[in-house]
Chain A
Amino acid sequence: MKLLIVEDEPSLREIMARTLRGEGYVVEQASDYTSAVDKLAGYSYDCILLDIMLPGGDGLQLLKELKENDRRESVIIISAKDSLEDKVAGLELGADDYLAKPFHLMELSARIRSVARRSMVGGRKGFTLGNVYLDPESSRVEIDGCDVALLKKEFAILAYFMQRPGHLVDKTVLAEAVWGDHVDQADNFHFLYAQVKNLRRKLEDAGANIELKAVYGFGYKLVFPEDN
């Protein structure tokens, strides 16, 4: 899969490129409006990561032109402006997703994956990992083809990990993703441990070959059989 990162901050661009390359993407970079236009004129990409505040032009203008030319690239907007209006404006212009700075790198790769999945024609829309299949739309989890009943929070936790397999997920980040931003005010993570414990037991009981591994007590990592 081929990506174009349009971002003016060199350091952020570099770390994004490095990470995404590490995940097996082909990554191209553009630092301003003109070079982005040049790249897009010459090549086609699967997904564009677009910062809308660019030197030399407005990222939204670039997006508009892409859509007017019926380009098939998916676009994820990356913006320092985290406001509903900007989000709506971006999505109305045809962006596929909107990610506010600062973001977690894992979040970025998860969004790319989900955008790619959406643009895929046919096939199952859910995530498959080992013998576990998770469908976010119908909130269903199957293990070896059998439905497993999960509570709302357990499902949210599993979905979060399924989109970030093999990555260490900090428990704070996980809690924020599942419970909401204000979770930082809690004085301990017992509520999180309890949910993860239940989820693990349910996965184990159903014979899943993926496992939520605790890492030093900092967080968790979803491990899955390599051969799958």
Chain B
Amino acid sequence: MKLIYRVVLRLSLFLLPLLALWAMLFYFTMEDEINDEADDALDNYSELIIMRMLSGNDLPQTGDGSNNSYLIIPVQEAYANARSHVRYYDAEVYIPEKHETEPARILSTIFRDDDGQYYELRVATPTFEKNDLMTTVLGWSVFLYVILLITVVSLTAWVFHRSMRPLYALLNWLDSYKPGTVVGAVPCDTDITEFRRLSAAAQAAVDRSEEMFERQKQFIGNASHELQTPLAVLGARMDWLLDNTELSEEQMGEILQMKDTLGRIVRLNKTLLLLTKIDNNQFPESSDVDIAAMLREQKEVYDEMFAARDICCCMKLPETFTVRMNDALASVLVTNLLRNAYRHSAHGARVDVTISGRMLTVVNDGDAPLDGAHIFERFYQGSKREGSTGLGLALVKAVSDYYGLRVRYDFVDGRHMFSVEWVQSVVG
């Protein structure tokens, strides 16, 4: 979930009930105020009537357009004593001008004239005006509530987005960053302290990892180089033993096995050196390389080497397929793919090598899909095979990355399929 959505959601979550509460409070206060106002008017009206009646003046006419009405009823003393002398209440009242009953606010006052006669005065004012008013107030409250909510939320989102721009710039930069590639400095185009600190921290981390990466590369290269001389010594001494001493068959066998093992170390070391060199871009010179010719040539070698397995290698190649690459690296790529297919094929299996368009595919039979996510990693070996360095496919990947080729593994119809696509290179 994006941070901005989270902020908006949380803000809405709090604002929604809060603003609703505010609107309700406003509405009820308003209603209270209006009732108060109506009661005051009734008070004044009833006072006026009582005063006029007691002073013997004419009583006011009803039907003067104010929709107010009054009623004076003489009551018994007992009745008067039984109730409070001033009461406000809501009731349905018949309004003669309109010939219908309407909800109204009523004030009932009990008073006594000079003769000791008790009267009850009921003055009423219809409440439909008040209801109209309250409906309007409610409508506006809801409207303003929604508008306010939308405004607050969208304003927050906008301000947030503006303020967070340096953060998104930094995130984009981090996404595009790959160790060992030059992508420029961490963006730091802001005067916000926190973002400046974040940028500085990111820059420091990147510098550190860059340095580690460089050092690691150098270390592998140096270690491999330094190993060459001791390996030469070891090999030379074994050679000397074999050539210059009388050895029994058993002793000779042991030494030859040591030599085999040593050979494997030497190969491993050479492959690591090669990988380091590819990583360090030490293959600048490119030439036009005919991949098809290279494949045909390699096929002959492997057919001979693996003759005992009766592997049927079926090639569908164009006459030529020329790409611009370093000759040695092209050979590494082709050799490793082809050798891999031969080596992991059972007796009598079939290997298909095809070039169609700009894509080279090498397909061989297999039982189960390999772990496509890790198969190109160094020293990843699904099933350990004697004599293999575990670096073959890592080399394929390294060469492909070097030239921006698209390399992938698929398991199709019970067969392993490795494909390399020359996406951008120039046809010679």
Contacts and interface: CB of A to CB of B under 8 A. Distances in A.
Contacts of B335: 182
Interface string A174-195: 0010011111111110110000
A184 B387 contact: yes
Interface of B is mostly: helix
Contacts of B13: none
B407 interface: no
Interface in A74-100: 80-85, 100
A118 interface: no
A58 interface: no
B205 to A, nearest CB: 34
Interface residues of B, number: 45
A96 to B, nearest CB: 20
A80 to B, nearest CB: 4
A80 B229 contact: yes
Contacts of A182: 301, 335, 339
Given A19-B239, A22-B244, A180 B233 contact: no
B235 A104 contact: yes
B314 interface: no
A184 B273 CA distance: 19
B139 interface: no
Given A80-B229, A180-B301, A106 B282 contact: no
B408 interface: no
B308 A188 contact: yes
Interface in B263-285: 263-264, 266-267, 270, 273, 277, 282
Interface stretch (A40-48, A155-163, A165-173, A202-210): A165-173
B231 interface: yes
A167 B270 contact: no
A182 B391 CA distance: 13
A121 interface: no
Contacts of B237: 11, 15
B343 interface: yes
Nearest to A105: B239
A144 to B, nearest CB: 29
A167 B242 CA distance: 9
Interface stretch (B31-39, B162-170, B248-256): B248-256
A218 B252 contact: yes
A135 B260 CA distance: 31
A190 B307 contact: yes
Interface of B: 225-226, 228-237, 239-240, 242-244, 249, 252-253, 256, 259-260, 263-264, 266-267, 270, 273, 277, 282, 301, 304-309, 328, 335, 339, 342-343, 387-388
Q: Which 10 A-B pairs give the minimum distances between C-beta atoms?
A: A102-B232, A80-B228, A105-B239, A101-B228, A102-B231, A186-B305, A101-B232, A12-B233, A15-B236, A11-B233
